[in-house]
């Protein structure tokens, strides 16, 4: 018999709005002894059925909803979710000429804790919830049914798995180990992805639309691409006719791939049109400022600075610091393209941080455009947390 959880009185509101999380404090009773990740029925205190969810006894988010309909959580459930996700992306894939895209955006695709990126024939899974782990083999079977020629690889080497009582794990789930370089294409730009050793699932697909939008600001400009990783923004800047692009990152393998990416796109990188600089951005920006080196465009796409509510203030200060420095090294009339992937810092707060940075930099700053995550990283209307990436184009006087 399926185990069940009963909610406290009045704690069914968010579920009725189809939000998929059930917090531990909202539960009045657990019936049965569900295992880590097992599927349970969710009922109101007085026994009315609400949803099927995955039970996660170690997490504050005690259960995550698989379905608001009373269906079996079996292979065909996963097949349907994957088919729906693919359907939602078909036009974007065609429009942007994608051979790499986010197939499953977790909660927003009705699969809590499951992220799947597709790079050519390689499906790369990141399983972050107990329910995802519990149903791993069904999920893989469903992926094989939907994409019979694909290989499935797991990159669940993510610390948040601890909160769900899970260990980090990586490896082949089906087919063979991905080669060191799988070349994908987006908007006519080729990008080499190292699925096994790269960050996250290998590449930051979420910045694709912002990279494309950045192109219109760079023609004949001197561009500094901070936190370049494998070149993303820098490649689009070269395509957009930048006079010169300096890509700065602390990861040498990422910079080596960035250079390789410039080569496979056959961009002219002679005469130092593209520079790949191994440097700590915090120090580099101060050096440029102290030397009086100036740029027309600065791109600022740092790693996530806010990982929990507890470090929101220090994270916000980190964003303020680097954006202040970026403003100080811009020529009058220059452009700052700045982003934050910290989901816990909303767009309003990020805008305030930029305003504070402007005051500290002593520069007049005008917002001219807003950005968000790429279209394949869609957000379900019931799950506003899905919006995590935001950015601004700012003119700096
Ligand atoms: N803009 C990239 C993604 C950036 S991810 C893209 O579009 O693909 C963040 C990057 O910041 C990583 O490559 C990481 O190596 C780098 N990084 C982290 N701390 C850094 C620091 N202090 N200085 C320079 N790079 C840093």
Residue 117, SS3 per DSSP: strand
With a 6 Å cutoff on the Cβ, whether 128 touches ligand 1 is: no
- The helix or strand, by DSSP H or E, that contains position 246, with its residue range, turns out to be strand 244-249
Predicted confidence at residue 1, as pLDDT, reads: 76
Query: Ligand 1 mean position to 250 CA, how many Å?
Result: 7
CB-side neighbour CA atoms (13 Å) of 45: 9
Ligand 1 mutation pick, 223, 302, 304, max ligand atoms within 8 A of CB: 302
pLDDT of amino acid 268: 86
Q: How far is the CA of 299 from the centre of ligand 1 (A)?
A: 11
Q: Is 226 a catalytic residue?
A: no
Does ligand 1 lie within 6 Å of residue 212's CB atom?
no
**Alpha carbon of 134 to ligand 1 centroid (Å):** 33
- 305/322 Cα distance (integer angstroms): 11
Question: Ligand 1 center to residue 370 CA distance, Å?
Answer: 21
Write phi, then psi, for 224 (nearest 5 degrees): -110, 115
Q: Where are the beta strands (DSSP E) in the chain?
A: 4-7, 21-23, 27-31, 39-43, 49-55, 61-67, 100-105, 114-119, 122-127, 151-156, 169-174, 182-186, 189-193, 222-226, 244-249, 274-278, 295-300, 330-340, 365-372, 390-396
User: Of 184, 201, 227, which is best to mutate to test ligand 1, by the most ligand atoms within 8 angstroms of its C-beta?
Assistant: 227
Detail the DSSP E strand segments found in 120-186. 122-127, 151-156, 169-174, 182-186
Ligand 1 center to residue 121 CA distance, Å?
Answer: 26
Tell me the DSSP string of 182-220.
Answer: EEEEETTEEEEE-TTTSSTTSS-GGGHHHHHHHGGG-TT
Which pLDDT belongs to residue 298?
Answer: 98
Task: Find, among 235, 223, 227, 253, the residue nearest to 190 by Cα.
Answer: 235
204 lines ligand 1 (CB under 6 A): yes
Instruction: Give nearest CA residue, ligand 1 atom 7.
Output: 232
Mean pLDDT by 10 residues, the chain (397 residues): 93 95 96 97 96 96 97 98 98 98 98 98 98 98 98 96 93 98 98 97 98 98 98 98 97 97 93 93 98 98 93 94 98 98 95 98 98 98 96 98
Q: Tell me which residue has its CA closest to atom 21 in ligand 1.
A: 280
Is 188's C-beta closer than 6 angstroms to any atom of ligand 1? no
What pLDDT sits at residue 197? Answer: 97
Whether 338 lines ligand 1, by a CB cut-off of 6 Å, is: no
Ligand 1, atom 22, residue with closest C-alpha: 280
């Amino acid at each position: 018999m399926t185990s069940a959880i009963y909610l406290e009185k009045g704690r069914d509101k968010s579920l009725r709005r189809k939000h998929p999380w059930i917090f531990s404090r909202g539960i009045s009773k657990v019936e049965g002894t569900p295992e880590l990740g097992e599927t349970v029925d969710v009922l109101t205190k007085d026994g009315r059925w609400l949803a099927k969810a995955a039970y996660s006894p170690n997490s504050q988010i005690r259960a995550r909803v698989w379905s608001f309909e009373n269906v079996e959580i079996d292979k065909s459930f996963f097949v349907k979710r994957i088919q729906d996700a693919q359907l939602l992306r078909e036009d974007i894939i065609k429009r942007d000429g994608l051979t790499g895209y986010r197939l499953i955006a977790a909660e927003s695709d009705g699969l809590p804790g499951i992220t799947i990126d597709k790079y050519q024939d390689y499906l790369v899974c990141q399983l972050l919830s107990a329910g995802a782990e519990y149903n791993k083999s069904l999920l893989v079977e469903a992926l094989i049914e939907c994409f019979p020629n694909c290989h499935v690889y797991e990159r669940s080497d993510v610390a948040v798995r601890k909160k769900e009582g899970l260990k980090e794990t990586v490896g082949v789930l089906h087919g063979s180990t991905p080669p060191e370089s799988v070349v994908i294409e987006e908007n006519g730009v080729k990008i080499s992805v190292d699925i096994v050793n790269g960050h996250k699932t290998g590449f930051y697909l979420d910045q694709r639309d912002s990279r494309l939008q950045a192109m219109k600001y760079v023609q004949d400009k001197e561009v500094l691409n901070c936190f370049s990783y494998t070149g993303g923004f820098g490649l689009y800047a070269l395509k957009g006719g930048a006079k010169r692009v300096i890509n700065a990152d602390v990861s040498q393998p990422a910079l080596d791939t960035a250079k390789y990416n410039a080569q496979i796109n056959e961009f002219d990188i002679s005469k130092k049109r593209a520079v790949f600089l191994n440097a700590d951005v915090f120090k580099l920006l101060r050096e440029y400022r102290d030397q009086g080196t100036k740029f027309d465009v600065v791109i600022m796409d740092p790693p996530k600075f806010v990982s929990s509510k507890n470090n929101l203030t220090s994270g916000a200060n980190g964003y303020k610091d680097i954006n202040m420095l970026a403003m100080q090294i811009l020529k009058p009339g220059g452009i700052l393209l700045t982003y934050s992937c910290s989901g816990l810092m909303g767009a309003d707060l990020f805008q305030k941080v930029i305003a504070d940075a402007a005051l500290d930099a002593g520069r007049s700053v005008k917002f001219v455009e807003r950005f968000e995550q790429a279209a394949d990283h869609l957000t379900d209307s019931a799950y506003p947390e899905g919006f995590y990436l935001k950015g601004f184009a700012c003119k700096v006087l």
